[in-house]
Amino acid sequence: MNRLSRHIAKLILAGMILTVGGCAYDDTVRDLREQKADSESLVISFSNGIIDNPLPMLTRAVTMLSDHMETMGVWGWQTTSEGVTECLFLNQEVAFSTSLAKWTYSPLKYWDTRSNYKFYAYAPHSGSVPGVTAAIDPATHAVSISGVTLTGCNTIDSGVPYPPANFGHVTDIDWMLDRSGQSMAGIYRNEVMFNMQHILSKICVRVRRSDTALPDSLLTISIDSLEIGNFISQGDYVQAIDYSNPAMVTEWTPVDTLPRYTVTSAKYVSVPDSAVYTLESLLIPQPVGTDQYIRVWYNIGSKGGFMNHVDNVFSLSGLFGRFEPGKSYVITVIIGPEPIRFDAGVVEWDNQ
């Protein structure tokens, strides 16, 4: 009987210790996030995000976020086991360290293995771009980015078979967003990987010779210059919650108070039989007006040394109705002895 009493007393004492320890844990869970962890596995970390995640993954190369961006902004919410939700990251700047080959931030936060998390991100961080502000609706988690400004940069120096699609070396910035965010359970302590999507529009222009039979006397076709533009240069973005039908969504509000811009390219480019790209540039998503145009100066040379100089201007409203986020608008300029022609189409951003 005495042995049984001692055993029951031990169980009661153990229960008291667990109860006290549990209360202490609940009281200090927030402080734990700021303290140095005994294991790096407790640190909330961000892996190298991907851009426009291809499906299926094995059919195409994955584009990594660090190839395009040096920073991203992150919001994060933690929901405890008691059902309490609080903001953990408030537009936190997370930067890519080339020397460490990873994304870093400070001060570090730590996983609570009993909590669940939700993270949202965009890139680059608004603090790295003068005049731009970013926010998130705490109820809907819709991201807004205000004051985005473009000047009209062309990534292509001469005719190329495929556009480079990397705006890291031009002044115009390719803004991106993880539309759905990432949900994580603290017990797994996985690295957070964002899947970014482009939220600007892109326009590409390529040139080629006409397929029709050319006279034997015709030697050369070349472009002196190509100009496309009168584009609105600034806009404000508010993320749509329902993006199931992108064609019906208007996320950008163009701000037409700054001077508009044009983009030039293809200076003294020989026009080949197969199409080559001569221009790739970013656009604020906007309706296409009758005052937005493409202008082509080109030359047709013959054996006798005769050179015919031609200047043609065309309205873009005859090709597109509007520029939408995450879409690439491709114009093929077809040049020959007959009047200039165009072939225009819309594709996904990286599916030229």
Predicted local confidence at residue 169, as pLDDT: 75
CATH topology for 201-230+262-348? Immunoglobulin-like (2.60.40)
Residue 74, φ and ψ in degrees, nearest 5? -130, 135
Q: What superfamily in CATH does domain 31-129+173-198 come from?
A: Fimbrillin-like (2.60.40.2620)
- Amino acid in position 276: V
What pLDDT sits at residue 36?
A: 46
The per-residue pLDDT for range 239-256, each reduced to its tens digit, is 999 878 777 789 999 999
Write down the pLDDT at residue 258: 96
Cα atoms found within 13 Å of the Cα of residue 143, Cβ hemisphere only: 24
37: pLDDT strictly greater than 70: no
* Helix, strand, or coil (residue 195): strand
Q: Note whether 55 and 103 are within 8 A (CB).
A: no
Domains 31-129+173-198 and 201-230+262-348 agree in fold? yes
Statement: residue 127 has pLDDT above 60: yes
| Higher per-residue pLDDT: 168 or 185 | 185
CA dihedral 78, 53, 177, 89 (to 10 degrees): 20
User: Is the distance from CB of 328 to CB of 347 less than 8 angstroms?
Assistant: yes
For the ranges 2-6, 37-41, 278-282, the one whose mean pLDDT is highest: 278-282
Which whole-number Å values give the CA distances from 231 to 252, 284, 292, in the listed order? 14, 8, 7
pTM of the model: 0.84
pLDDT digits (tens, 9 = 90+) for 45-92: 999 988 876 554 545 567 889 988 999 999 999 999 999 999 999 999
Burial class (CB in 10 A: 0-12, 13-18, 19+), 57: exposed
pLDDT in tens, 195-216: 999 999 999 999 998 887 666 6
**Domain ranges for the chain:** 31-129+173-198, 201-230+262-348
pLDDT in the model for residue 264:
93
- CA 75 to CA 29: how far, in whole Å? 19
Mean pLDDT value across the chain? 85
Residue 19's pLDDT is 39
Predicted local confidence at residue 307, as pLDDT = 80
